[in-house]
Structures are given as C-alpha cells and as structure tokens.
C-alpha cells in the first residue's frame, strides 16, 4: 500500500473572509453554472436573499417566513435557542413536508456563558412492540416493499420535536414555548404564499396524499396541489399550536392528542375504496408517555488546528464527518490542485461510510466504538489504504476500530449494502448578540413523511422507522447495529456541525439530504478550510457524494468541471438522480467574521433557494 503523505507544514489560517458588498470571486475550482445548480452565488449587494452580513444576530433557513420569525425573536431580545425553536415551529407551517410536530431532529448549540457545545437528541423512537422482523412479510420472509413501508403506520416513530423544544428551552432558552409559537400561529391562520417548491413537493406526493382522507383534505384543496401564488392556510395546525402553547409539551405526550396520534398510526385514515395498501402501526399511548429527548455528548475532532463538533449516535453525522476529517488530515489539500483534493475527499468518504454502516446504531441498544472511530490512530490506519493517484474499486470493507493500529493494516470483512434514507429534511442556523450559536436539523424523513395526517391537527406524521435496516442479515453475516427494536432510535445521517477556532465559534453548517448530508457538510468544510473559498462560495460549489458505492453521484456542474480528470483516476461518476434531480442538499451556514460580525448563508438555487437575514445589516 502507498505510504501516507503526512502534511507537516504549519496549518494555514482560513482565507478570504467575506465582507458585505465584496464581490464573491469565482475560483478556478468552480465550474460554470449549470441550469440545476449555480456554482457561484449572486453578489450580496445585488440580491441579499441568500447572503446577509451584519450585527446583532443572524439566521439562515430554507424559508423567508422562518428566517423573519427568528430575526424578530433576536431583535426582541431572545437568544439563539429561542430563535431556533421559533423558526422550527414556523417551518412546521411553511415546510410541512419536511418539518412538523410529527417528526424529530438533532440540535447542536454553543453556549457562550459556559463556552461549551451541547447537543440534544430529538430522534424518533420505535414503539415497544417493534422487533427486528417487524418490516418482514411473513409470507415471503423478505422485507416489505420500501414504498409500502413508507406510507404506513408501521413507519411512524414516536415524534421527538416537542420534547426536544422543551429540552432546548429548559436548558438554554430565555422565552416560553407559548410565546415562541405565536409567529407560527399567525402564519398558519393568515396563510402563506405557495411557492414553486411547495407546489412541486405537493405534486410529487399527490397520488398517495389522495388516498389518505385528512391529508387529501388539507394538502389537496379542490383535489389538486395548490397553485403557485395562491395562499395556503392551515387552521387545524394553528389550533394545535395554540393548544400546545396553552397546555405545554406534556399535553402532546400524555394528553388527548397522544391518543389521536396512536389512533392514526394503528388505524390509518384511508379513503374508502383506495387501492393502496396502508399497513397499521404498532404504537401505543405509553410509547409517547415514555419519550425523552436526551442531551448527548457531542462528537469532537481537531482538524488543521480547529475543533469540529457534531452529533453523536444515533446520528452517524458527527462520527462520519469526524472520521473523514481525521483521515484527510494525513494529507495536504490545496486549492492549487483541486482535483487531487476532491479525489482524497471522495476516498476518505468511502472509508468513513464503510465504518458507519458496520458500527453506528443507537448507543442505548448497541455498543458503538465511537472513541476509536474518532481516534487519530484509526484514521492513520484507514488513510494508509488511500492511493493518492487512484480510486478504490467499488465498495470497501470496514476497518477494525479496536485500538491496535498498525501502519496500512488491510481491512477485512464484507462491504455493507446501501440502505434507504430519505433526502427530505431541513436545516437552520442561528447566532445571537451574546455569541450563542445553534445548528438545527429537522425532518419527518420523506417529503410528506408517512403521508398520514392526524385528523383535525394539521400535521403529518414521520416515516423515520424506515431508516432502520428493514431486512435482518443472513445467518453468519456480520451483525447489523441498525435493526429495528423496542424503543430504539434508527440511525440518522443528520449532521448539525459547529466549528470552533481558538475556543470560539467560527462556523455553523448543516444540510438536508439523507445520507448525502454527511458528504455535503464534509465538502463545505473542506472548501472553506482547505481550498480557500469564502463561505458563500463554499456552500454554493458543485457537489459530489461518495457513500461507499461503486459509483460517485454528482451534480451536473461537478461532472462538467471535474469528470474527465477524476474518471482518469478511476472514479465512476454519474448524475445525482434526486429528488430534486441533479441537486444534492440545501445547506445553510454561518460564519463569525469577527466578534459581533456574522455572515449567514443559504442556498442560492438548490430547492429554489433559501433565506439569510441579520438583525442589523452591515452597510
């Protein structure tokens, strides 16, 4: 095996801090803009929707209403935790197919008072009656078709969002949940303007929505998706939020609504005569009553002198991003040779994903060797397997994070096969005037989750349990840490990430995208830290994702710019199929440019663009 080319040069400080009004330079690394994905965002002075720089706090989300809600909370003296919860509640109104009371998420927070990073696990849990064969058809012995598993009560995990909001506000907030729900209530009552993204997401789900009575009645008014430019109101959700504001989170888990959720899961409200098979679920009211959203110790690695914090299992985000960064630290990545840098990024991702599939699961139910996966010794052993000039052929086997590390130890065992994980999620970032920073990833899994709306409540239930491995391994195969089980949380790829420099927050980043979340976050970090891009350029740059598969999937602009050179190195590149077709993720991020001065960045084009705002813009 080739020796690892250790980089012993001093760590270069990140370059080109982007200031408001400065032109964002198109680096040689970037491809010309393709119709699906812009390679370079617009100049901030020309259109500030996607990039905002200023003082007093900042936010970036996928939605203008959510961003305005967060900024208003900051303007009135709320902190980053308050603003993140208020924005998430608003996204439950305007982005109901990805963020809802019926889902969950992961929250990372830098507390300026204690100078510590904390994470809150709002991942959904399986009901107590679930076991490793719950998704197996007894007649065939095989997992039920994935599409049937999604649109079913069987796929619905116990929602974690409301308990997570309570945990966030109890630990870090300064405002009551009832007050933070008021902007979302107003928007739900008055309505919001339907944009192309909302219309397209509804249209993509129209067939299955039409088979679920309360979902059809809410999201297909007149029997079809709402027209772009029309006003969409959700009075049911407004009433639910109002009751939640008055009664508090315990009402959600122990009150009448808990029984309504269970009834929807166990007796899906299918339209009479519908041909669709919608299987009942296993949830009981006691499953909701037992739910908790625990604080978890974040993952932490150092990279080029920076501290990178992420979400620990049951998310694989922090462990896989962290392992890949540890591997890459054994090499020099330079903007002078972007092709080689991208080759190394893809190969490090391949190795880290092999270990993710073999070892990551719910740590309350399986043993996860997290400290060894994030050790520098294990990273050196894995880095030795990378040929600086040639891609590894096909999937690679996982390593052995056992603490006994030898130079270039070959990996043994079989490579894991691909798993289903929906790309339909959302992410937001917030910073406040006191230096607190939040990175929050929220989801109900697929666009539209399970497709089951709780009657009269105005929100969809998740299909997160399809993130489990649906088919148990064959006898004699390696154990799978991500099998369903009672009370278990399915593995996730959500990766809310905070980067500290000299002990202070510098970057916050995250994205939707299912298992591509990890590679998108990793690529943005490499773009910013190693390849000399400012944050808007790093976030908008064309993407590729290697998840230990034979092919590397990429956006059109990436293939156009790098396809020939990377193919010559043995990479098999193919267009990312989506949805949305040709687009990987819809990231948001922020950067502390200097004390008090923050730049918030959202996608310029992906998923029809996002929204970045600050309290007091820099002029």
Q: Are 94 and 107 in contact (CB under 8 A)?
A: no
Q: How far apart are CA 210 and CA 270, in angstroms?
A: 9
* Dihedral sign computed on CA atoms, order 527, 529, 530, 533: positive
Report the pLDDT value the prediction gives residue 71, as an integer from 0 to 100.
Answer: 98
Report yes or no on 430 lying in a domain: yes
Q: Are 211 and 278 in contact (CB under 8 A)?
A: yes
Extract the tokens encoding 89.
């509640």
Report yes or no on 347 lying in a domain: no
Q: How far apart are CA 388 and CA 352, in angstroms?
A: 17
Q: How far apart are CA 138 and CA 603, in angstroms?
A: 45
Q: How far apart are CA 79 and CA 57, in angstroms?
A: 9
Residue 43 buriedness (CB in 10 A; 0-12 / 13-18 / 19+):
middle
Residue range 243-252: average pLDDT? 97
Q: Where are the beta strands (DSSP E) in 244-370?
A: 295-296, 299-303, 306-310
pLDDT category at 315 given cuts 50, 70, 90 is very high
**Strand partners of residue 501:** 504
> What is the average pLDDT score of the chain?
90
Residue range 241-245: average pLDDT? 98
**Secondary structure, 3-state, 58-102:** EEEECCHHHHHHHHHHHHCCCCHHHHHHHHHHHHHHHCCCCCCCE
Q: Residue 550: pLDDT above 60?
A: yes
Report yes or no on 29 lying in a domain: no
- Indicate yes or no: pTM above 0.95: no
Number of domains in the chain: 1
Report yes or no on 7 lying in a domain: no
- Residue 69 CB-half CA count within 13 A: 32
Give the tens place of pLDDT for each residue, 387-431: 999 999 989 999 999 999 887 766 665 555 445 555 568 999 999
The CATH number linked to 202 is: 3.60.20.40
How far does CA 5 lie from the centroid of its chain?
32
Residue 88, domain extent: 58-291+420-617
Q: Are 582 and 13 in contact (CB under 8 A)?
A: no
Q: How far apart are CA 354 and CA 471, in angstroms?
A: 19
Report yes or no on 438 lying in a domain: yes
Report the pLDDT value the prediction gives residue 416, as an integer from 0 to 100.
Answer: 56
Q: How far apart are CA 546 and CA 563, in angstroms?
A: 14
Q: How far apart are CA 499 and CA 517, in angstroms?
A: 17
Report the pLDDT value the prediction gives residue 410, as an integer from 0 to 100.
Answer: 67
Residue range 542-551: average pLDDT? 96
- Residues with a catalytic annotation lie at 425
Q: Are 54 and 614 in contact (CB under 8 A)?
A: yes
Q: How far apart are CA 269 and CA 259, in angstroms?
A: 14
Q: Omega before 565 cis (within 30°)?
A: no
Q: Residue 78: pLDDT above 50?
A: yes
Q: Tell me the C-alpha to C-alpha distance, in Å, between residue 398 and each of 311, 373, 473, 548.
A: 21, 11, 16, 10
Cβ density class 204-217: b for 16+ within 10 Å, e for less: bbbebbbbbbbbbe
9 or 358, greater pLDDT: 358
Share of the chain above pLDDT 70, in %: 90
pLDDT category at 608 given cuts 50, 70, 90 is confident
Report the pLDDT value the prediction gives residue 482, as an integer from 0 to 100.
Answer: 97
Report yes or no on 224 lying in a domain: yes
| 465 contact partners, CB below 8 Å, separation of at least 6 | 124, 126, 130, 154, 155, 156, 157, 484, 490
Q: Residue 7: pLDDT above 50?
A: no
DSSP, residue by residue, 334-384: -TT-HHHHHHHHHHHHHHHHHHHHHH-S-TTTS---HHHHT-HHHHHHHHT
Report yes or no on 456 lying in a domain: yes
| 277 contact partners, CB below 8 Å, separation of at least 6 | 148
Share of the chain above pLDDT 90, in %: 85
Cβ density class 579-595: b for 16+ within 10 Å, e for less: bbebbbbbbbbbbbbee
Give the SS3 label for residue 51.
strand
Rounded to 5°, the CA angle 181-514-92 comes to: 15
Q: Are 331 and 344 in contact (CB under 8 A)?
A: yes
Q: Are 156 and 100 in contact (CB under 8 A)?
A: no
Q: Residue 19: pLDDT above 60?
A: no
Q: How far apart are CA 110 and CA 499, in angstroms?
A: 10
Report the pLDDT value the prediction gives residue 419, as an integer from 0 to 100.
Answer: 55
């Amino acid at each position: 095996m080739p020796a690892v080319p250790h980089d012993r040069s001093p760590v270069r400080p990140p370059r080109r801090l982007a200031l408001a009004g400065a032109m964002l330079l198109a680096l040689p690394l970037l491809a010309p803009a393709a119709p699906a994905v812009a390679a370079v965002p617009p100049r901030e002075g020309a259109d500030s929707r996607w990039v905002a720089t200023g003082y007093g706090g900042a936010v970036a989300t996928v939605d203008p209403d959510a961003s305005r809600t967060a900024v208003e909370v900051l303007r009135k003296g709320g902190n980053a935790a308050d603003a993140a919860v208020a924005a998430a509640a608003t996204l439950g109104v305007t982005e109901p197919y990805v963020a809802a009371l019926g889902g969950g998420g992961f929250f990372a927070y830098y507390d300026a008072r204690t100078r510590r990073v904390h994470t809150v696990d709002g991942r959904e849990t399986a009901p107590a009656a679930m076991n490793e064969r719950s998704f197996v058809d007894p007649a065939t012995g095989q997992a039920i078709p994935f599409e049937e598993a999604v649109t079913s009560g069987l796929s619905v995990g116990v929602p974690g969002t409301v308990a997570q909001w309570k945990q966030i506000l109890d630990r870090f907030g300064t405002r009551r949940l009832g007050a933070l729900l008021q902007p979302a209530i107003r928007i739900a009552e008055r309505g919001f303007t339907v944009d192309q993204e909302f219309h397209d997401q509804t249209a993509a789900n129209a067939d299955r929505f039409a088979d679920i009575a309360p979902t059809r009645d809410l999201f297909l008014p007149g029997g079809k998706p709402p027209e772009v430019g029309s006003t969409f109101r959700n009075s049911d959700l407004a009433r639910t939020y109002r009751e939640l504001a008055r009664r508090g989170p315990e009402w959600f888990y122990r009150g009448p609504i808990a029984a309504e959720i269970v009834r929807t899961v166990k007796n899906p409200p299918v339209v009479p005569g519908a041909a669709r098979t919608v299987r009942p679920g296993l949830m009981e009211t006691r499953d909701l009553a037992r739910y908790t959203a625990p604080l978890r110790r974040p993952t932490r690695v150092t990279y080029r002198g920076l501290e990178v914090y992420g979400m620990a299992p049951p998310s694989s985000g922090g462990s896989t991003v962290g392992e890949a960064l540890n591997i890459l630290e054994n090499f020099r990545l330079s903007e002078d040779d972007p092709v080689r840098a991208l080759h190394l990024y893809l190969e490090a991702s391949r190795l880290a994903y092999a270990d993710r599939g073999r070892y990551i699961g719910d740590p309350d139910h399986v043993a996860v060797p997290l400290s060894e996966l994030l050790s520098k010794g294990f990273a050196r052993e894995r880095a030795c397997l990378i040929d600086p000039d040639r891609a590894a052929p096909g999937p690679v086997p996982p390593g052995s994070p056992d603490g006994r590390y030898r130079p270039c130890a070959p990996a043994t065992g079989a490579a894991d096969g691909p798993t289903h994980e929906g790309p339909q999620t959302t992410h937001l970032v917030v910073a406040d005037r006191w230096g607190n920073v939040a990175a929050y990833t929220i989801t109900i899994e697929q666009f539209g989750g399970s497709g089951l709306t709780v009657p009269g409540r105005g929100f969809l239930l998740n299909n997160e349990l399809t993130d489990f491995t649906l088919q148990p391994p064959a006898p004699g195969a390696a154990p799978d840490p991500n099998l369903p089980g009672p009370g278990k949380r399915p593995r996730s790829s959500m990766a809310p990430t905070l980067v500290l420099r000299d002990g202070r927050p510098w970057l916050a980043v995250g994205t939707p995208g299912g298992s591509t979340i990890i590679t998108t976050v990793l690529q943005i970090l490499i773009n910013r830290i190693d390849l000399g891009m400012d944050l808007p350029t790093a976030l908008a740059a064309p993407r590729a994702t290697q998840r230990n598969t034979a092919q590397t999937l990429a956006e059109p602009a990436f293939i156009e710019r790098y396809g020939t050179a990377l193919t010559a190195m043995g990479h098999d590149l193919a267009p990312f199929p989506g949805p949305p077709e040709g687009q990987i993720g819809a990231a948001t991020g922020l950067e502390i440019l200097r004390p008090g001065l923050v730049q918030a960045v959202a996608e310029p084009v992906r998923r029809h663009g996002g929204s970045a705002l600050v309290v007091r813009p820099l002029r």
